[in-house]
Amino acid sequence: MTQPLFDSAEFRQVCGHFPTGVTAVTAIAADGRVAALTVNSFTSVSLEPAKVLFCVATSSSSFPVLSVAERIAIHILRQDQEDVARRFATSGLTGENKLDGIAWSAGPDGVPLLPDTCAVLAGRTDQVITSGDHVIVLVDVDHVEHKPSSLPALSFYRGRFASPVGPGTVER
């Protein structure tokens, strides 16, 4: 492989020009440990069977739980849920600590589900693929909740939370 002529900071800056949605991921392991993290690398993969994916750094404090999770839930956050995204992005806290003060209920097999999000997709891990310093987690979706809202989904653009307005995006 040829050595790139840029560093990781420049790569991150370039990729930041692509606006992404913001999700909150929760997971529960067989031993009851919980993970909670913010993810903007999320996408649908397949309609039949229903499958989604997200990416997470192997250095994430949530990775040990995600790597053995029994159930995973991906919550599409609303524009007014930046506080949840920031809380779940806090490094050094356990999943249980990140959920302190956040309303949630136990979903299928006990996975934490957040109320008032745009939507929830929950399921079981299908595959975990290592690529560089991240893993790609493919999830077989067996539970969905669509919660229509007048608020758009929370987005991230050029290193900041952003609000979609008219034809473009306005940074906050």
Scored b (16 or more CB within 10 A) or e, 59-90 reads: ebbbbebbbebbbbbbbbbbbebbebbebbbe
Residue 40 φ/ψ, nearest 5 degrees: -115, 0
Examine the pLDDT at 120 and tell me if it is beyond 70: yes
Is the whole-model pTM more than 0.85? yes
Local confidence band at 165 (pLDDT 50, 70, 90 cut-offs) = low
Tens digits of residue pLDDT in 9-21 = 898 888 787 888 9
Report the pLDDT averaged over residues 50-74: 95
User: Which CATH number is 8-158's, of 2.30.110.10, 3.40.190.10, 3.40.50.1970, 1.10.3720.10?
Assistant: 2.30.110.10
Confidence of residue 2 (pLDDT cuts 50, 70, 90): confident
